[in-house]
Structure 1
Amino acid sequence: MRVPLPRPQTANEWIEYAYTGAGEVIDRVREAQVLLVNKCRITAEVMDQAPGLKMIQLMATGMDNVDQVAARERGIVVRNVVNYGPDAVAEHAMACVLQLTRRVPEWQGLVNAGQWSKSRFFCMHDFPMRSLKSMTLGVLGNGAIGDHVAQFARAFGMAVIRVERRDATEVRPGYVAFQEALARCDVLSLHCPLNDQTRGLMGAAEFAAMKPGAILVNTARGALVQFDALKASLDSGHLGGAAIDVLEIEPPPADHPMLTWSHPRCIVTPHIAWATLEAQANLASIAMRQVEEFMRGVSQ
């Protein structure tokens, strides 16, 4: 994080590490009573080596890096931070939609290559562009981020549909069935959690069912998308574009298929949709308020 963490007012001994590798976790948590952590894995083994541990405060919304069953069995409170920056993620999603519909990276590439200077005319028409007012956005995931994306999209004049879960036995009022939505959406934005039902959600069959020229945006979890299928759909020209802010392994290995392959209609960013300075400050504030409340409760 690029913003400082506030300190709790309750008396404490504060120890901070800028980075902790997997092999350093146990040694660094042995004496901890309250642990602030983001992506480090906190397993039952780690907890057993920290007998005084009473609280784990995640500096994130996702909780999959902590063994929550083991924590409950040991009486350890686990808290996360929710809704600290839904507008930040939604802004990023819409920025990517605008880049892909107005072809911003491709125009910039032509300019950098000197093509504008060589043109006989004042402007260029190499890439067709679309107005958002003519497009339909599908939002899969009904949390605060999805709500903000829908709000921003409507401000641009887009039609917005709520997409029902793929495995739903019935369609909720106000929602559109998953397969129908794939065929209708010009843009599909993913905001659903990663679980057994959503892992690999978007694969070859789903991309084939999407409207020709449609755009996929994923700012949720990397493993929602099957990347080989995404690449094939973009290479074939069926998909009109994709914006990926998350991968299933982070940081990814240098030979990850989304890093070794480059496509002018695919934007890959390093899990930064959430990371405006305002959202980081809000995350820190909420997390420390929760820690403070816990510490006061324990000390009373």
Structure 2
Amino acid sequence: MNIVWLESETLAVPLPRPACPHQWTEYPYTTKEQLHARIAEADILIINKVKIGQAELDAAPRLKMIQLVATGMDNVDQAACRARGVKVSNVVNYGPGSVAEHAMACILQLTRRVPEWQALVHDGSWSASRFFCLHTLPMNSLDQMTLGILGSGAIGGKLADFARAFGMAVVHIERQGASSVREGYVSFEHGLAHCDVISLHCPLNDQTRGLFGDEVIAKMKPGAILVNTARGALVQFAAVKAALERDHLGGVALDVLDVEPPPKDHLMVSWQHPRCIITPHIAWGTESAQSNVGRLAIKHVDEFLAENQ
């Protein structure tokens, strides 16, 4: 089996090699122009964000399996793969703690206003103070706040554990437009109106694309914090910007954008705000999580090879 790994630089740790006999070809990255030539003789493709559609399947007549080193599979035309008999495999739950830690770190930064306090040190405000400390910015304690989690998978569950350890009340928010509210959940509207922090962990689909726009954000509790470590297109960036600028939102943390990497003139890159944290899709990226995603991806390849040798 000829295995081709198209994007090795998307991981900071090397992939282990399959145990079954194979030929291995690895590229640090692959452009659209390079793609067809590189996959022409591949039996198994290992990818992260490279897009595979009908044209790519036609260019890879030997292809039998696509293994993603990721959970999301929206970059692969799964219907076309099924029609061709190509197995598509992803990796789930490889690092829920990593993403949840990042979300919790953002919540702490924004509730304790760490970036703003640091700015007051460097602009001379602390040095000019009459007293030993500053009381410029109001802060709330986490044990007086409610976290709402939209998306009840492993990451949301891990974040709930972290938040409860800090004394936060935690609620799970039902999907928008749900005909009934599941046991242990609050309605979407109740979550918007009552949660001090809302963290997004839901998939991107036709129902959730652009969900947090002007209308939904306007229904959020004044001063609430919005955290998105899921998919960038869940939120509308102009709406986020407007809500922060009028102080309806108390803070925003985005680890994902709609285009990655974003152009320099992307709204969330070119605009800065002291209560807006933007990080480069790195919530998942602890070394242990990256090792896990590689180990699980190659485990799936080994299982496929064992079944098809």
RMSD: 0.7
Higher relative contact order (CA 8 A, sep 6+): 1
Q: 1:79 is matched with which residue: 62, 65, 89?
A: 89
Residues 182-239 of structure 1, C-alpha deviation per residue, up to 9 Å, x if partnerless? 0000000000000000001101111111111000000000000011011000000011
| 1:244 aligned onto 2:266 | no
| 1:187 aligned onto 2:197 | yes
Letter in 2 for 1:289: K
Residues 52-78 of structure 1, C-alpha deviation per residue, up to 9 Å, x if partnerless? 100000010000000000100000000
The number of residues matched between the two structures is 299
Counterpart CA distance in 2 for 1:264 and 1:151 is 28
Letter in 2 for 1:90: A
Q: 2:159 is matched with which residue: 149, 169, 185?
A: 149
Residues 15-45 of structure 1, C-alpha deviation per residue, up to 9 Å, x if partnerless? 0000111111111110000100000000111
Contact 1:26 1:49 in 2 (8 A): yes
Q: Percent identity, aligned pairs only? A: 63
Deviation at 1:118, TM superposition (A): 2.0
Counterpart CA distance in 2 for 1:113 and 1:292 is 56
Counterpart CA distance in 2 for 1:266 and 1:14 is 43
Match of 2:284 in 1: 274
Match of 1:26 in 2: 36
Contact 1:167 1:197 in 2 (8 A): no
> Can you give the 5+ residue segments of structure 1 that lack an aligned partner in the other structure?
none
Counterpart CA distance in 2 for 1:191 and 1:151 is 15
Counterpart CA distance in 2 for 1:203 and 1:277 is 34
Counterpart CA distance in 1 for 2:178 and 2:236 is 21
Contact 1:93 1:149 in 2 (8 A): yes
> Can you give the 5+ residue segments of structure 2 that lack an aligned partner in the other structure?
1-10
Counterpart CA distance in 1 for 2:254 and 2:177 is 23
Letter in 1 for 2:273: H
Normalising by the residue count of structure 2, what TM-score does the alignment of the two structures yield?
A: 0.96
Deviation at 1:113, TM superposition (A): 1.8
Q: Secondary structure at the match of 1:118?
A: coil
Normalising by the residue count of structure 1, what TM-score does the alignment of the two structures yield?
A: 0.99
Match of 2:5 in 1: none
| 1:295 aligned onto 2:294 | no
Match of 1:138 in 2: 148
